[in-house]
Every structure is written in structure tokens, then in C-alpha cells.
Structure 1
Amino acid sequence: MFSRKPLANLTALLAVPFTLALGVGKFVALRFTLAGKSIYFVVIDRFARSGEQAVNTTPCDLPADWVNNTGGGFCGGTINGITKQLDYIQGMGFDCLWITPPVESQGFMGYDATNLFQINQHFGTQEDLVRLSSALHDRSMCLIVDIVLNHMRPLLVNGTVNLSSIVPFNEASYYNQRNRSANQTFAQYVASWPPPAFNPGEDNAQLRNVSQGEEATCGHTVADHTECSCFPGNSGPNCPSFRHADLSTGWLGVMGDLNQSNPYVREQLLSFVKGMVVNYSVDALRLDTAIYLDRDFLPMVQEAAGVEIIGEATVNNLTYQASLMRGPGRPGLAGLLNFPPFYKVPEGFCAYQIGGDFGDYSHQGTWFHEANLMGLGSVLSLQHSSRLFGDLELLGNFVDNHDEYGRLHHYCRHDTLRIRQALAFVMLWRGIPIVYYGTEQGLDGHQSRDNNLGQDALRESLWQTRYRTDTWQYRFLAQLNGIRKDLGISIGDAEVQGLTTTSLVFTRPGKDPSLHASKAEARRS
């Protein structure tokens, strides 16, 4: 049960104006940027059907096969279906649409590509994607496409390794083979599970031992270890077994881990990136599993794209996070998904635990007795005071997504006040707010209030909601997007002014000095 104490308060004070000055009599052509934009994120296969299937509103949440690695799980969502629902998306005030990888893949999510240069026939055609891009631009909206450069589909399918169907990487030499013995065939190497990026069990044991002997080794007051955990994808140089070379050559299970040091691999990946942007007039890219790529390859990808790239960097080390972004004298990606604050959001607003200290995940998916905003506020302050980041406007903020254990409505137990506070935070804090499809309809991943059904449940279909525009969540998101634009707080500084376990107060610059405050307060629940 929740505590009967006051719920977390969120106050955004809008008091300081900003000025945009342009040269008199000069036309200034501004290059497109994601700074100041808000993003609506959809899974292509689950958002909207088209054609004869458009009238079929039967819910669907088929899982992909990760036992025999045959993929599948397609529910019938299409690119054309998305195009026909752009009124629905624009009605909430979003500037950009982010779609999951549209390329040919084994599974419905698209992150296990089989051919980088073809559009998945389950989703539509190349012409369909061109039409979606054009339709968005006609509305002055932008298109963000998800890409994966770290790996291809699982190489072990039904117990057999066969590369012949993978385009363009159909030879063993294109894949990392760290620790492969001289007497092993490539098939034997893959079947024995190649080495991962690092050893989380060993890491967490060492981190626990160090923490027992020193104060403030990890936690929300420690910028370079904001979580007391080391696990693949959530680590940094301060975790004991961390090595850059191992991170880029370690495999994610049996997903075909590409060797970006191979000239052919680099050439083909960069060609794919350029083609995706040019052929479909893409405005920005989201780069999956960015931390697993060679560090010297990231700036090449950013340069080849010619548009801003937002990287997925599931890390808890602010220095390491910032090092992935470009800045003065430092090459890198334009922006990142902002994971360090995200890890604190479920606990901060809804007392929900998504992680586990020192590798103990026995309480993951359960609720603390009380919510606590200290972690979230502290990480935000550390991030802004560190002066490490190239551009804080290009950090993407979110409260849930397709991977991270629980949807907002589930982990807040459908508590309207808590959900409002979490959404107000992500929409009004500095950076790019990203909202996962279905939030506006109260989707909860088909979870019960006391149990979690796993990752696949986070990816349910939307069509059964019939795209209602009268839900309180839909209207609330439209209001928040309106506030961002009307008050001029879509870009600009942010500063935490007050922080307790139950309240977070921050200031944002506004364009009108007569506007002093916008206050959202949740009372006893």
C-alpha cells in the first residue's frame, strides 16, 4: 500500500525571459535541430493497422521467439497505418515522430535486422516510408528513425548458424570473435555463447565490497556512479571489469555483433546511415546500443548522417555519459537518451523499483513504502552543474519506454496524481521530452497491480483504444505541449531550487517576464 503522506510536489517557476536576436535585414537559415522539440515514440508493428485490417481492433501482444531465435510476433501494424493517424499524434502537440527500425528483420520490433537495405514487408514498402516522411513535413513535423549498427539478427537460429540470409554481412569475418579458440569453428564459437561486454556478477560483488569500506562510493550523490549497480549496458569506467575494448567486442547473447574495425563493415554501415537519411528525408536518427560501438566509430556515424543522432546509452556514470556527446574539441553524437535521471523517476514519483543494488534484483518490479524524489533531484543537479555536456538541450527525457520493465500507468498503479506529476516533469524539464505511445490511453502493459509480466508486455497494440482523443491523458499531454510553446520553455536553462523527499522545485526561463509561476501540486492520494 502507498503511504498516506503527501505525494511528490512538482513546481516549475517561469520567471526569466530570454531573447533571440537576428541580424537586421538578414535572412538566417537555421539548420534543423531537435532542441526544443517534443517526441512521440511508436512501435511500428503495434501502433496502427491499415488496409482491410484497419477495422480489426482485436488487441495483440504477440511475443517474439527468443528461445529458438526465430523472431516473429507480428501483429499487423504498418507504416501506412501510422500515416493515417497523424491527426491523432499532432492533436497532442508533438513536434516529432520516432519510429522503431523499419528495416527487414526477424522480429516485430526491428532491432534484429536481416537486411539493412530493405524495408520490412510486414510494415510496408519504401514508398510508404517516403509518404510518411512527406506527410509529417507537410504538417511541419519531423521524422526520427531508429537504427541499429551494433548487431544483426541472432546468428544461432533453431540451433543452427547460417549467415547466408544476412545482408550485407554474410561472412564470419564481419563479426567480433574475441576469445575464439584456434580449434573452434565460427559456428561452434557462436553456439557456445561469445563473451559479453563484461562480467556483471563479478563487478557487483567488487562494488559491494568497496562500498562497505568507503562512504559515498555510489548512489544519487555520486556523479560517476548514480546507481549502485553494474550490469551490461549500465556501467562505466568505475565498474571493476570495465574495458572499452571488451564493451565494443562483447556480444548481446547471440545477436550477430558487428566488427566496426573491419573496413567493409564500416563502409556498409555508413552507407546505410546516409541512405536512410537521404532516401527518406529523415530529420534525425535514434541510435540503438550506442555504447557498444567502437568509440572512434561514433563520430564517423554522426558525420555521415548529416542530421542529429540521439544515442541510446544506458549508463549511470555522468562523466562517461557526457563523453559520448560532441562538445568543444570533442567529437561524438549530437545527443543521448537521458538514462541517469530516468532510473530515478519511478521511485521518485511512484515508489517503484526498477533496478537492484549490487545485482540483487529480488525486489525489482515491487514498490517501496514511500516515493522519494531525492535521487531524481540530485542527479538532475549533478548533470547540470558538472559542465560536462556538450548540449543539455539534446538530452531526451522519458518516464518509460519499450524496454525498461514497467509502463508509467503500471508502476504508478494508475494513480492519476502521480502520473500527472511524472508527465509534467518530463515535459517541462530541460531537454527533449519523449512520450511512449499508449501513455495517452492509459496502457499499462497488461500488468496486474501487483505483478510484472516482462518486457514483451510493454509492447501491446494501440488500435483497441480506437485512438480516443477525450482521455484525460491525451488532453493533459496537449496542454503540456502547449505550455512548452506558449511560455517559451521548450529550450533554455533549468535549475533545481528546492528538493525534499516529497517535492522537487525547479526554475525555467520563460519568454514573458510577467509570467511568474506555473504550479502543479498533487495532494494526498
Structure 2
Amino acid sequence: MAPLRFLWLCACLVAAEEFSLAGKSVYFLVVDRFARNQASNTTFCDLSADWINNTGGGYCGGTLNGIINRLDYIQGMGFDCVWITPVVDANGFMGYDAVNIFDIEPHFGTKEDLQRLSEQLHQRQMCLILDIVLNHMRPLVINGRVNLSSIIPFNQESHYHQRNRSHNQSFEEYLIAWPPPPFNPSEDNARLKKLKQAGEADCGHHVAEQTECACFPGNMGFNCPSLSPTDFSTGYLGVLGDLNHSNPFVRQTLLKWVHEMVQNYSLDALRLDTAVYLDRGFLPEVQEAAGVQVLGEATVNNLTFQASLMHGGGQSGLLGLLNFPPFYQLPRAFCGYRIGGDFGDYSLQGTWEDEANMVGLGSVLSLQLSSQTSNFDMMGNFADNHDEYSRLTYYCRYDTLRIRQALVWVFLSRGIPILYYGTEQGLDGHQGPENTKGQDALRESLWHTGYRTDTWQYLFVQKLNKLRKSLGIGVGAAEIKGTSKRTLVFTRETAEADTVWVFLNNGENSTAMEGQTYCPGPAGHLRGRWFDALSGKPMTQHLKKGCFEAPDKFPKVLYRENGKPKP
């Protein structure tokens, strides 16, 4: 068996080298909410699943064929790849709580529909990223009763972790009593706060091991001692059935399933849900079994721990990650929005500070880029998603200038830009009749917008995708040149060894026509004239004394013409 396994792993690694997400841009959509089969349907929908009795549901009618019918819409923005939420037979509309991993969710379509979506994307020279879940299955307790028989193929008690189950507890009693969490964030946060106040510990955007002053998954270390790596990977994620990867049947079945999904549907890459909760030794096995690049979800703010999850530098791991540390800073940087809470105090989450502040974002990016411990071209950058507290449009209070600034960062910073569906239509996650908040509200339907291609957001995303390609900055080095409360300046090295300068600020719409000084800026005496790639206007005259005195507050992307046509 060893020689066969060796050949299989080699073949997988070769396949992973044939295609790379590096340099690509990604459109991320929720299958159930993106497009129905009926092209004329305009009824708004943001149904919630049943998270109380765990009966799931919440389907609005989006399908795989609906996606196929709207590929022109996605490709029109210039995206290279489409990332779709899980499509396996599941308990609820999001698909992250599988019931049967071997079937396609009937609400979405059939296996043939998924194959057809893959084929249609490849005919357009686009790629398909499928979201997969290996950490858990659907809740094991539904309507107050335990029923494993309907879960395929993991229908035995031994298939699930049972950490801290007492010897006199039945499996049902253990589950209904609510399994203990794998860590105690309240205790850790109280301890961290005391250490910080006493000057015995430091935390915040200037500390690589703890870029936020809070203890939560991914912040394991001296200052958060209850976050045991072992408990972390063997504990429960809410009420979901937490799979026991030490069980040979579970481990081998999942690895075989991953490999077959890639092969059967010609998948170009995978997005791995809750990767941070998986056993550290299991991640490289998943990467090898996939044979394509895996982009892991690691909701961490510890840059050192984040780097340890990635393959490279003599260590094994995933080939890519979603880039959460800068994301946690981004809403405050551009829009003054609180997405978290210091020392675990989330009472102000979802509110705004008096002023936006770019320092935290710039600091985290500087720490990250200077570490040189990860492949930053394989980190996915984003401004919002399906899980966090708010959409970009809402947390920027519909301020188009600030939204533009954030989108420029997503698309032009080093990494894989990811746009959450509906951003191009101004979806805000609060369109329902009661202006509801919460995760399900962030997963609203898109069809009621009519898939307009003339919105300013659609056209702006289209322009940013074109600029990435025309400027040659899909991959390549980046450097943070300057950060202040109001500004962020960074550079990107082009494929032709030239330098592109990006200038961002957090000014509001009312200040759009006011000038903005950035320091440093490119030296104006360098050969060639400087232009702003976004407006097409010459900017050489605004380069003064080592700084850039921009004529307005719109984002600027400066490049040297050098006799070549402008983007």
C-alpha cells in the first residue's frame, strides 16, 4: 500500500502545481441566495434557518442552474473564479451542516448540475472553488432528541468527539447537557486585561502574537492559557456534530471524499471551513488528498499561529488561507466600525466610533508583510463575508468614498481579492421589513436587484479587476510605506520590476473634493510621468518634497507611464 499511496500523493502535488489561485480574483456567493431558475423572479428573501430546535431549513430557492444562467454577470466584472458555499445534502440553506456528504442538496440541483457549472466556468477560462466542511456535521440534537441514523456516513457515537463526557453519562445526556466549550474566553480575557493594565503583557495591532486585545480561537499562547490546542480541535463548535478525526473510518472517509469531489467535478480549488478547529496534523493530509490548492478559514488574530497553518518554509500545511488579521482591522480603519471588542467586551459591537483610524490596519499589514513567513499571494483578502457582523455597505454607512477606499485595498493589496456577492449592488444586510441584524440577514437574495450592470459598484469592481491585470500586480511584493490615522500608503511591485503606489484615506463623502497629503510618495524626478490609474489623470505635478499632495480624497493608484499606454 505504501508505494500506491506515495504515487497518489505525488500525483496530487503535481496537480496542485498546474493551477494556482495566486493572481486570481474571486467572487464569493451563497448558492441559495444568488440566483433562482426563474430569471424574472424579483421577490426579496432572507429567510432564517431554525437555530433553536436545529431543524434547519430557510431555503429561498437559489440553484446551481441559476448560477450558470448568471455567469455573464459575474464574468462581466472581470472575476477569474467563483467560490460557492457547500452544496452537499444539508440541514440548512447555508450547507455547512451536512446530513449526507455523498449527495447534492436537492434544493440546489443535482450532481449533473454541479458538473455543468464546472464545465461552463472552464469554457470561460474561469475557475470553480467549492466550500467544504470537514470539522463537523449537522447538529446531533434536533427537537430535543438525538438521532444519528440519518447522518451519512457518520452515524456512530464513536464518530464524534466526546471531550469531558463523564463515565455515567449516556451519549444523549452528554449532548443535551451541552458539551463544554474547548476554552474559557471570559476567564482569559479578564486575565489579559489585568496583565495589560499592570504592564505585564502587551497586545494590540503592534503585537504579532496578539493583534487584538482579546482571547478567542487562534489567539493561543501565554496570555490566553485556557486555549489549549488539544481541546481546541476536540471540542464542540456550538451544537454541531464535531467529527472525531482520530477515528480511522472518519479520517480516511473524509480524505477519500475530498479527493473524489475534486476529481468528479473538476474542481480548481477548495475553501476549507473552520480549518482552525481541525487537528493540526490533519491539515496537510487534507491538502495532499485534495490535489488542488486549499484556502483555509482560520479566524485568527495571531500572525505567528496563522503562518504555522500554511505550507512552506520547511513545514507542512494548507497552501492558502483567508486573511483574517487585517480584516479585523479594516472596518475601523475605513469606517470607524466596531467589529469586535477589547478583552471580550462585545457590548459595543456593531456601533461606530467617533472617528475612523487607519493605524491598526497599517500596523498589522506591516507586521505581516515583514515576517516573510507565509506566501502572501495565497492569502484571501476581503471586506466582509457571510459570517461576520455586517456588510461593507452598512458598516461604511453607505458612504461611497469610504466604500471605494476599502475596495481598492481588497483588490490591490497583496493576496487574492474576494468580493462577497451583492456588494456590487449595494446590499447592506438590513433590507428586510424589520431592518433585522444577524448572520442570516447578511445572506439575502440577489435576484431582487435585477442583476444591474450599471451600478457604480459593479463598474468600480470591473475597473479594479482590469487594473490588477494591466498593471501586472496580481502577484508580487508589497510594502507598507506609511500609515497615519487618516491615510495608508503601500506599494506593489509589478511583473516588470516597476513600482505602483496606492494611496488610501478614510475621508467621508463630504470631504471628497478636499486635498489630501500623503507621505511618503514616489520621487517625482524619476524617469517617466506619473498617472493615476483610476482617473487617468497626470499626477507628476502633485509630487512635492518626497510627498504626494493629492488634489482630492478619492483613492489614487500611481504608476509611471514610461512611454506605455495607460491602463
Query: Normalised by the size of structure 1, how large is the TM-score?
Result: 0.91
Indicate if the aligned counterparts of 2:73 and 2:451 stay in contact, CA closer than 8 A: yes
Q: Of 17, 21, 25, which residue of structure 2 is paired with 1:34?
A: 21
2:89 pairs with 1:108: no
Question: Which residue of 1 is the match for residue 427 of structure 2?
Answer: 443
Indicate if the aligned counterparts of 2:489 and 2:504 stay in contact, CA closer than 8 A: no
Q: Which has the higher contact order (CA 8 A, sep 6+)?
A: 1
User: Across the two proteins, how many residue pairs are aligned to each other?
Assistant: 492
Q: Deviations over 1:424-470 (max 9, x none)?
A: 0010000000000000000000169x986111110000000010000
The aligned runs of 1:12-91 (5 Å cut-off) are: 31-50=18-37, 53-91=38-76
Q: Give 1:472 deviation, angstroms.
A: 0.2
**What SS does the aligned partner of 2:270 have?**
strand
Indicate if the aligned counterparts of 1:498 and 1:506 stay in contact, CA closer than 8 A: yes
Shift in alpha-carbon separation, 1:210–1:452, aligned structure 2, 3 A: farther
The aligned runs of 1:245-256 (5 Å cut-off) are: 245-256=230-241
Name the CA distance, whole Å, in 1 between partners of 2:499 and 2:233: 49
**What SS does the aligned partner of 2:165 have?**
coil
Q: Of 486, 495, 506, which residue of structure 1 is paired with 2:470?
A: 486
Name the CA distance, whole Å, in 2 between partners of 1:269 and 1:514: 45
The aligned runs of 1:174-189 (5 Å cut-off) are: 174-189=159-174
- Unmatched 5+ stretches in structure 1: 1-28
Q: Which amino acid aligns with 1:90?
A: Q
Query: Normalised by the size of structure 2, how large is the TM-score?
Result: 0.85
Following TM superposition, the consecutive aligned residue runs of length 4 or more in structure 1 with deviations greater than 3 angstroms are 511-523
Q: Give 1:56 deviation, angstroms.
A: 1.7
Q: Deviations over 1:137-169 (max 9, x none)?
A: 001100000000000000010000000000000
**What SS does the aligned partner of 1:343 have?**
helix
Indicate if the aligned counterparts of 1:312 and 1:336 stay in contact, CA closer than 8 A: yes
Indicate if the aligned counterparts of 2:88 and 2:100 stay in contact, CA closer than 8 A: yes
Q: Give 1:57 deviation, angstroms.
A: 1.2
Name the CA distance, whole Å, in 2 between partners of 1:352 and 1:515: 32
Shift in alpha-carbon separation, 1:63–1:234, aligned structure 2, 3 A: farther
Q: Which has the larger radius of gyration?
A: 2
**What SS does the aligned partner of 2:18 have?**
coil
Question: Which residue of 2 is the match for residue 7 of structure 1?
Answer: none
Q: Give 1:254 deviation, angstroms.
A: 1.5
Shift in alpha-carbon separation, 1:517–1:212, aligned structure 2, 3 A: closer
Q: Deviations over 1:25-49 (max 9, x none)?
A: xxxx961000000000000000000
Q: Give 1:187 deviation, angstroms.
A: 0.7
2:131 pairs with 1:146: yes
Question: Which residue of 1 is the match for residue 277 of structure 2?
Answer: 292
Question: Which residue of 2 is the match for residue 468 of structure 1?
Answer: 452
Name the CA distance, whole Å, in 2 between partners of 1:331 and 1:517: 34
Q: Give 1:54 deviation, angstroms.
A: 3.2
Q: Which amino acid aligns with 1:256?
A: G
**What SS does the aligned partner of 1:118 have?**
strand
Q: Which amino acid aligns with 1:49?
A: R
Q: Of 214, 217, 220, which residue of structure 2 is paired with 1:229?
A: 214
Q: Deviations over 1:214-270 (max 9, x none)?
A: 266110000000011113x35222412011110011101210000001000001111
Question: Which residue of 2 is the match for residue 425 of structure 1?
Answer: 409
**What SS does the aligned partner of 1:217 have?**
coil
Q: Give 1:515 deviation, angstroms.
A: 7.4
2:176 pairs with 1:191: yes
Q: Deviations over 1:108-128 (max 9, x none)?
A: 000000011110000000000
Q: Give 1:511 deviation, angstroms.
A: 3.8
- Unmatched 5+ stretches in structure 2: 1-15, 513-567
2:289 pairs with 1:312: no
Question: Which residue of 1 is the match for residue 310 of structure 2?
Answer: 325
Name the CA distance, whole Å, in 1 between partners of 2:408 and 2:25: 13
Percent sequence identity is 66
Name the CA distance, whole Å, in 2 between partners of 1:516 and 1:279: 41
Q: Give 1:210 deviation, angstroms.
A: 1.1
Indicate if the aligned counterparts of 1:206 and 1:240 stay in contact, CA closer than 8 A: no
Question: Which residue of 2 is the match for residue 406 of structure 1?
Answer: 390
Question: Which residue of 2 is the match for residue 415 of structure 1?
Answer: 399
Q: Deviations over 1:396-430 (max 9, x none)?
A: 00000000000000000000000000000010000
